Structure formats: structure tokens, C-alpha cells
Structure 1
Amino acid sequence: MAVKDGTMRVPYSKRSKNMDNEDCLFLNVYTPLKKMLPVMVYIHEGAYLYGSSSSLEFGPEYLLDSDVVLVTMDCRLGLLGFLSTGNGEAPGNFGLKDQVLALLWVQENIPNFGGNPQKVTLFGLSSQSNCVHFHTLSDASNGLFHQYIMQGGDAISYRSFQERREYSKFSKAVGERFGCPFNNSRLLVNYLRNDKATRLYDSISVFNKTWQLLEMMCTPTNEPNIDGVFITDTPFNLLRGKSRKDYPFINGMTKDEELYF
């Protein structure tokens, strides 16, 4: 844990951070050190592939002019965070499950930083605005936040989600990229787990040439109904079934969103 000028960077898992593995589960707490303030939890942008909660591009100064405690989180990204084999071997949504773990950490620990766990606003930008929307559809996030802000995306965008039966095709392409000789999902996952996390993460750029440019390559997906599941149905079906949390929210677009396309 590091403390500087009212800012605390803390792990929300018991593992250490290391570039050669998946131990990236850190979050930042910015607090004016007052008691029982509302909490704002931010998920950074980055197309599910890149970005960091510690990015200098989005500092805490503006929000800390108000009486809030700000939390920013990291999660697994790219293949580490979202690869799915379409079955129980690698069901997917690992990055979203990391975010659930961070929200649980906030509920259990934020009073120690002057925050009120009963007044948590979840917000995100671009692809992570999509993630905010996914949290409103998942039972795994029940009770972990109380209102939300979506800045530039939602779960039903065609770039936000891939159905798990289609996702399995991408996992096979990943296996071929790494010279995996197995078509079996279990053998494929075990093979990839023996590779370095940094090589898995960096390799995603290769697929820009073979996958459609405007499609996200690593996205949330629906999972088989197993322990620890995040969602088991498509976002459209969940919305149609009125699964969305009935919380206060603000929804909008960020300036020049997707302009580079």
C-alpha cells in the first residue's frame, strides 16, 4: 500500500503485481479524509485491451473538488481478461469478474477511507461504459453499487458483446497463433496457461489483420451456467426480461467518441 497526498494505491487481491503474470489487481483510492462521503468508482477506457487506472490522462483533481471518495480500478484485459472457449474451460468475462471483486473490496473497506458503502456510484468511459451496463444486468454485482453513469457505450452495442458459440472460433484462432496442436478446449487452455502473460497480451495486435477492424476481439460474452458466472444470456434478452437493476443513472456520449475510425 502506498500513501501520498491523500491518495492510496492498494491491492484488492492477495497476490503481488508482476508483468509476467496476471497479478494486476490494484486500485487507487483518492480521499479528502473526511467521514462517510459518497463514493465514485471509475472503470478506465481501452477497448477491453489496454489502459490503466493510474493513467495520467484522467487525474482525480476535478472530482476531488467535491466531497467524494474516488476509487479507480484495474482488471485483466485482452486475452487474459476476456478469452472464452464457449464452455466451462474458459467461460470468459474474467475482467468483469475482477471488477466485481474490486466492488466487493469497496463495500468491505471503503469506510476506512472515509467513504459510505451505501452510496456508491459506478461510472466508466467508452468500452468500460459498456461494462457499467453489464454490471446492471449481472446478479454477481447485486448490492455492490447504487447508481451509475455511462459515458459512451452500452451492453447492446454490436462491439460490446460476442455470443459464446461464436467466441469459440476466436479461441481456436488464438491457439493456432501460438502453435497449439490441440482442438480440445481443456488442452488449449492448459497450453496457453504455460505461456507468458505478456506474450499473450501483446499478441492481440496480430488479429487486427484477420478480424474485422470495427469488431472488438476481446469482449464480454454469455457463459454456461456454472459457479462464479457473470451472465448466462445475451444483453438483449436480459434487458427484454427486465433484468436490469432499477437504479438512478445518467447516460451520454463523450466528445469525439470513436472519431479515429
Structure 2
Amino acid sequence: MLNRFTSRSKGIRSSSLRFCSQKILRSVRQGVVAGREEHLSSGIKYYCFQGVPYAVPPIGELRFKSPEPLERFDQPLLDCTHLRGPCHQREATTSKTVGSEDCLHLNIYVPAKCAAEPMPVMVWIHGGGFIADTGNKYLPLSLLHEGVIVVTLNYRLGAWGFLCLPEAEIWGNVGLKDQRLALQWINENIKSFNGDPNNVTLFGESAGATSIHMHTFASHAGKLFHKVIMQSGTANMEWVFQRQPSVKVRRLCELLGCSSTDPKEMFEFLQSPEKVTPEAVLSKTLSLLLPDERRRGPPFPLRPVLEDTNSPDAFISMPVLKQMRRHDTCAIPTIIGYNSAEGLTLLKHSVKQIEKVDQDLERFVPRNIPLSIDHPEISALAQQIRKFFFGGQRITKEHLPGLCNLITDYHFLVDIYFATKMHPIYRPGAPLYVYRFDYTGGRDFYKRLFNFEHLSGACHADELHYLFQTPNDDLSTFAEDDAQITKRLSEMWANFARYGEPTPQNSNIANELGFMWTSVKKSTGQKECKNLDYFIIDRKCSMRQEPDRDRMEFWEEIYRKFPPLDYSLLNAKR
């Protein structure tokens, strides 16, 4: 949910810009791209093509509009030997405005080996709460060892990607539509890199994973991609959909100096690069947070929306829970998982105001419970939360493990859990593999950054520092346990991309583990799926049934009494 690889990736641009005498050329539909040759620490060669444009630059009249396909490059030989800028955002450590509106590029990493068959393709969609991060920061060195092609991409963020004003034909979700267009580009061109367009796996984390979940509802599922891996995110989560989008676009115009409420005039104002500068937009973005969003967190004001029925190219217009209950969707093999202490990423904020949190546990009563905020049952539910997570006591810094579990459940786990329970019922033809990532080691980043190393569990996003690397990383120098978890993750993810299962029978990883990661059993009829099998990713891996079952039973009991509303509908109304 935060900006990734901040301190470890400072050398990424200088490393990527070094001159290579031997350029690698590939012809694509739009022209010819020139990449460069690199070497893994093992000496194995790979090719990288960075900063490849997949759309017409979304500037001028295309600002806030759906992306348009790029028909031809503007030069006969396009230099793709270096990274291009990210989409506009605040740099995590300095808060400086970085990036460009001309940011719709992708990066292609290709093992150089001569493969007899086209290689599986893995497309990474980054997280960052729809306001931050970039595909540029994710270098898939360990995945390349496994013989798969990896593509990372940029999509528009914040106001540029998720502002919504249907009356002026700003339909919203253009950041998601950027992703869709990138998939179309990959489908058309990946053969030129010896990739298999009929074997494409989407994988992503946090906001990237929620995006992928929405892709599975779309008509291009099973056509532009064929398998998915969702790390720490599903589309039914509390923070995914934008709250009061019409209020926010008007508020942004007001903050930037537009007093008009006429949609046409607002649109003309927003498209003015002189009046609406990147710095101005980013300086006002957090001011769009509603009071209740500030109270509950996380601070993501501009996010996806359910699009107006008049939208000519809607990405998602049907409510999420209705989508998840459809039986007529494409059967996409799926991995869904979470980190055991996701809440560590938001715990520091709660610790700073722990007395307020103690006095307002109602903030952790899920908003999708169909009660008004002043209903007496809300206070009663808050007391149940206090009793279950804190033994009925006041919350102090002695209760950080319980507070971390509560934040984990509220912002991540409960909705991920319900998504995994629904999948076998409504997608019985789509194999589902579920995991919990427990590993903590020498490459943990956020847990150390937030000074929570004394607490157990894996922080949100910390698995990324094992799955991906930076240009300065040498895999051969990793600590033994870190190298092992990197190898296991990469091998299982690549196996899933290649075969549709992470630990095929008689595979190296299955033989090493001594067992197979089994898929969730298919549901019979409409009966609830109980005791789902989870793969525990740690120094010693294992299969367990619903490792956080006690906490999930607590929330299930509440939802039995108060059947949940759909956040995607709820957020649009309130």
C-alpha cells in the first residue's frame, strides 16, 4: 500500500542508463524496439526492454480520458534500453512531486536462452493504493532464473487515473483501463519476445491484486490472461472503491481555484495544464479525504468506481459482490494469499494516537454492516471487539499484537477470507490455491522501517523484497534462509504460470518440500466451504486448515447477524 523499494532502489536509474554496445532488436506491431543484454549473478544472460510505450501519451485533450492504442512509434528504431519516468505521484521519502503524465510504458524482461517452445508470460501490476508506486522498481531476477518472461507496467494514479465526472464524460477508472490496454499490447506483441500470448499470468500485490480481481470479472478474462495471483488484495475489500467520487471531483476543482459547478466548465478547467499542474493536484489530493476516511484509514482518496451505465468502455459497472456470485464467468486458475501481520503497515499511525483508538473502537466496526453509525448496536459491536482482541481491557502499547491483528482483519484479511470462501462455490471449475506468508528475514523492509521487528508476523508488502530484486542485488550473496524463500517463491509462482499449479507432482519444489500445495476442494452445490487448506510460506512450509480460524469465526458470527452490504455500492452512495 506504500511506495515500494524506496531505499533499496536508489541506484536503479543510474544502473539502467549505462550504455550497452550490443543492442537487442525486436520487431513489434508499432515498429522496432532496441533493448539491452544483461547477466544474472549466475552468469545467465537475459534481455530487457524498458520504457516501451503501449498507448498514445495521455496528455492535452486525453488527460483523464481512456487510453488510446499507439499505432506507430515516432521513430523507426525506438531506444528501450533505459527506464522512463513513473506516473505522477509523491516520492515516498521526500514527498517531492515525481513522474510525468506521459507515463504509459511497460518493461519486458526475457531469459536469453533458446527455448524450443514459447515461454510463459507473467505480468506484474504494482500496488500503492492507486496513488503511488511504479512498475519500474520491480526487477524480476529470481523469476528469470525460472524461465519465464516478466512484464511490469505503469498505469495512471491518483486524480489522473481515478477522477470521475460522468456529466463531462470523465467516466473514471482510466488507470484500470491503462492496465487493460497494456494487456492488449502484450497479447499482440509478446510473440516477438518468444512469449506465449495464450499463457499469460497476472500477478500483483495490494491495489495491484485488487485490480487483478476486477480483471477476472471482465470480458477479456481468459483472452488477454489465463491465470492470476493475488497477493494481499481482493476487490471486495473496504478501501478499494472510491467514496463519494462526485463530491471529491468538485472539491478538487474548488481547491484548485475553480468556483464553477458546471461539469463542462469543470472539465475544461481540469484539462488546463497551466491551471491544474501536477504539484497543485498532488498538494491537494489528501485534502479530498472524507472525515471518516481520515478516522479509519488508509489515506487513499481517489480509487476505482462503479462506472455510469453510459460509459462507452466501462471497466467495471456491476457491483463486486454480484460479480463474485456469478456462475457464468471464465474459469481462471487462481492463487490468493496474505501476509500474517498485514496490519503492521498501518500500526504506527494507530500507536501515535492510541488513546483516540481506545476511545473509538467503533472505527473498526466494518462499514458494510447495515446499521447507521449512531445505531446502539455499533457501540455493542465495538465492545465485542474489545473483549475478543484485548480481553476487555483499555488499549495500551502493551496490546500491539492484538491491535495489529485487528487492523489486519479490518483492512485485509476478513474480506480476503470471504473471497476465498466464495470462490469454490461460484467458480468450481477454477482451481484455487490459498497461502499465508509468515516468513521474516534479512530482506524485510517495512517491518524494519516501522520498528516493529519485535512483533511476530510478516508485514504487508515485505514478501516483495524476496520475490523481486533491485539492480544492486546479487542473489548469490543472500543469506541462506532468504535465498531459500526467494527460490521457493519464484519457483512456485513460475510453476503456476507454466502449469497452473505451484508444486506439480515430481517437480523440484514438491520433492524438496516433501508434499504438494493442494488446491481448495471444490464446493458441492451452494454449501459453505469449510476448513480451506492453506499453504504456509515460512522457513518450514506446511499445509494447514484456515490458520486464523478463531479470528474469522469471530467476524463470521457478526456477519451472520448482520449480512454485509457491498462496499462498491456503499462507497458510491455515502
> Same fold judged by TM-score > 0.5?
yes
Measured after TM superposition, the shift of residue 241 of structure 1 is 3.2
Structure-2 residue corresponding to 1:30: 109
Structure-2 residue corresponding to 1:259: 344
Measured after TM superposition, the shift of residue 254 of structure 1 is 3.5
Of the three residues 54, 65, 68, the one matched with 1:12 is: 54
Structure-2 residue corresponding to 1:223: 307
Q: Does 1:250 align with 2:335?
A: yes
> Distance between the aligned counterparts of 2:328 and 2:178, measured in 1?
21
Q: Does 1:184 align with 2:262?
A: yes
Measured after TM superposition, the shift of residue 209 of structure 1 is 7.8
> Distance between the aligned counterparts of 1:51 and 1:255, measured in 2?
23
Q: Does 1:39 align with 2:121?
A: yes
Unpaired segments ≥5 residues, structure 1:
none
In terms of Rg, which structure is larger?
2
Q: 1:73 to 1:89 in 2, by over 3 A?
A: same
Flag as ranges the 4+ runs of structure 1 deviating above 3 A. Answer: 14-21, 205-211, 241-245
Q: Does 1:103 align with 2:183?
A: yes
Measured after TM superposition, the shift of residue 183 of structure 1 is 1.2
In structure 1, the residue corresponding to 2:102 is in which secondary structure?
coil
In structure 1, the residue corresponding to 2:202 is in which secondary structure?
strand
Alpha-carbon displacement from aligned partner over 1:14-62 (angstroms, at most 9, x marks no partner) = 439777852110100000134410000001111100101111xx32111
Pick 1 or 2: higher relative contact order, CA cutoff 8 A, min separation 6.
1
Q: Does 1:78 align with 2:158?
A: yes
In structure 2, the residue corresponding to 1:139 is in which secondary structure?
coil
In structure 2, the residue corresponding to 1:204 is in which secondary structure?
helix
Counting matched residue pairs gives 257
Q: 1:14 to 1:149 in 2, by over 3 A?
A: same
Contact (CA 8 Å) 2:172, 2:305: kept in 1 or not? yes
Q: After TM superposition, list the pairs within 5 Å mapping 1:37-186 onto structure 2.
A: 37-55=119-137, 58-87=138-167, 89-141=169-221, 143-162=223-242, 166-186=244-264
Q: 1:140 to 1:82 in 2, by over 3 A?
A: farther
Tell me which amino acid in the other structure corresponds to 1:54: N
Choose 245-254 or 210-219, whichever is displaced more.
Answer: 210-219
Measured after TM superposition, the shift of residue 122 of structure 1 is 0.3
> Distance between the aligned counterparts of 2:321 and 2:128, measured in 1?
23
> Distance between the aligned counterparts of 1:2 and 1:82, measured in 2?
33
Contact (CA 8 Å) 1:79, 1:218: kept in 2 or not? yes
> Distance between the aligned counterparts of 2:124 and 2:254, measured in 1?
36
> Distance between the aligned counterparts of 1:129 and 1:196, measured in 2?
30
Tell me which amino acid in the other structure corresponds to 2:342: E
> Distance between the aligned counterparts of 1:40 and 1:65, measured in 2?
13
Choose 137-146 or 214-223, whichever is displaced more.
Answer: 137-146
Q: 1:43 to 1:88 in 2, by over 3 A?
A: same
In structure 2, the residue corresponding to 1:62 is in which secondary structure?
helix
> Distance between the aligned counterparts of 2:251 and 2:323, measured in 1?
29
> Distance between the aligned counterparts of 2:54 and 2:280, measured in 1?
25
Q: 1:140 to 1:174 in 2, by over 3 A?
A: farther
Alpha-carbon displacement from aligned partner over 1:55-96 (angstroms, at most 9, x marks no partner) = 1xx321111110100000000000000111254621100000
Q: 1:220 to 1:113 in 2, by over 3 A?
A: same
Measured after TM superposition, the shift of residue 243 of structure 1 is 5.8
Tell me which amino acid in the other structure corresponds to 1:3: G
Contact (CA 8 Å) 1:27, 1:72: kept in 2 or not? yes
In structure 1, the residue corresponding to 2:324 is in which secondary structure?
helix
Q: After TM superposition, list the pairs within 5 Å mapping 1:202-221 onto structure 2.
A: 202-208=283-289, 212-213=293-294, 214-215=297-298, 216-221=300-305
- TM-score scaled by structure 2? 0.42
> Distance between the aligned counterparts of 1:250 and 1:88, measured in 2?
39
Structure-1 residue corresponding to 2:320: 235
CA-based RMSD = 2.3
Contact (CA 8 Å) 1:39, 1:121: kept in 2 or not? yes
Q: 1:51 to 1:82 in 2, by over 3 A?
A: same
Q: Does 1:3 align with 2:35?
A: yes
Q: 1:25 to 1:64 in 2, by over 3 A?
A: same
Q: 1:90 to 1:14 in 2, by over 3 A?
A: closer
> Distance between the aligned counterparts of 1:156 and 1:122, measured in 2?
18
- TM-score scaled by structure 1? 0.89
Q: 1:171 to 1:209 in 2, by over 3 A?
A: closer
Measured after TM superposition, the shift of residue 197 of structure 1 is 3.8
In structure 1, the residue corresponding to 2:191 is in which secondary structure?
helix
Alpha-carbon displacement from aligned partner over 1:78-137 (angstroms, at most 9, x marks no partner) = 000011125462110000000001000110010111110000000101111100001011
Measured after TM superposition, the shift of residue 152 of structure 1 is 0.4
Structure-1 residue corresponding to 2:280: 199
Contact (CA 8 Å) 1:221, 1:234: kept in 2 or not? no
Q: 1:258 to 1:22 in 2, by over 3 A?
A: farther
Q: 1:140 to 1:221 in 2, by over 3 A?
A: farther
Structure-1 residue corresponding to 2:7: none
Sequence identity percentage: 32
> Distance between the aligned counterparts of 2:277 and 2:34, measured in 1?
28
Q: 1:108 to 1:162 in 2, by over 3 A?
A: same
Alpha-carbon displacement from aligned partner over 1:156-205 (angstroms, at most 9, x marks no partner) = 11101136xx3111111111111211112222122111122453245323
In structure 2, the residue corresponding to 1:54 is in which secondary structure?
helix
